Structure 1
Amino acid sequence: MRLSFGLACVATLLGLASETNADVYRDPDTGFSFSQYNAPITTGTSYITFRVAIPSPATSGQPYDVVLQVVAPISAGWVGVAWGGSMTNNPLLIGWANGASSMTSIRRATSHTAPTAYTAGSLQLLKKGSKSNGTHWQFTAKCTGCTQFTTTGTTTKSLNPAGSNRLAFAYARTKPSQPSSESSPLNVHDLFNYWEHDFSSAGNAAFQDLVDRNL
Structure 2
Amino acid sequence: MRLAQLVPWSTALASLVASPILAAPEADTSVYHDMETGFTFTQYFGRYSLNNAGITYRIAVPSGVAANTNFDVVLQIVAPNEVGWAGLAWGGGMTGNPLAAAWGWSSGAIISSRWATSHTLPQLYSGSAYQVFKTGTKNNGTHWQITAKCSGCTAYGSNYLSPTGGNRLAFAYSSSKPSNPSSSSSDFSEHSVIGFWNHDFGSAANPTFTTLVAKNLGRH
d(CA) in 2 for partners of 1:199, 1:96: 24
- Secondary structure at the aligned position of 1:127 is classed as coil
- Secondary structure at the aligned position of 1:114 is classed as coil
Query: Which residue of 199, 202, 208 maps to 1:200?
Result: 202
Counterpart of 1:30 in structure 2 is 37
* Code of the aligned partner of 2:60: A
Deviation string 1:56-100 (CA, Å, 9 cap, x unpaired) is 011111110011101111110010100000000000011111111
Return the TM-score normalized by structure 1: 0.86
1:50 aligns with 2:68: no
Counterpart of 1:18 in structure 2 is none
Structure 1 runs (4+) deviating above 4 angstroms are none
Counterpart of 2:166 in structure 1 is 164
Return the TM-score normalized by structure 2: 0.84
Alpha-carbon distance, 1:22 to partner: 8.0
Counterpart of 2:81 in structure 1 is 74
Q: CA RMSD in A?
A: 1.3
Deviation string 1:144-173 (CA, Å, 9 cap, x unpaired) is 0000112xxxxx110011110000000110
Counterpart of 1:141 in structure 2 is 148
Alpha-carbon distance, 1:193 to partner: 0.6
Whether contact under 8 Å (2:29, 2:199) holds in the other structure is: no
Instruction: Figure out how many residues of one structure are paired with residues of the other and give that number.
Output: 190
Query: Which residue of 176, 179, 202 maps to 2:178?
Result: 176
Whether contact under 8 Å (2:88, 2:169) holds in the other structure is: yes
* Code of the aligned partner of 2:92: G
- Secondary structure at the aligned position of 2:58 is classed as strand
Structure with greater contact order relative to length (CA < 8 Å, sep ≥ 6)? 2
- Secondary structure at the aligned position of 2:203 is classed as coil
Unaligned runs of 5+ in 1: 1-20, 151-155
Deviation string 1:6-54 (CA, Å, 9 cap, x unpaired) is xxxxxxxxxxxxxxx9811111111110001111111243111110000
- Secondary structure at the aligned position of 1:208 is classed as helix
Q: Report % sequence identity.
A: 49
1:124 aligns with 2:131: yes
Alpha-carbon distance, 1:119 to partner: 1.4
- Secondary structure at the aligned position of 2:202 is classed as coil
Counterpart of 1:16 in structure 2 is none
d(CA) in 2 for partners of 1:63, 1:189: 29
Query: Which residue of 101, 104, 107 maps to 1:100?
Result: 107
Counterpart of 2:92 in structure 1 is 85
* Code of the aligned partner of 2:207: A
The worse-fitting range, judged by mean Cα deviation, of 192-201 and 36-45 is 36-45
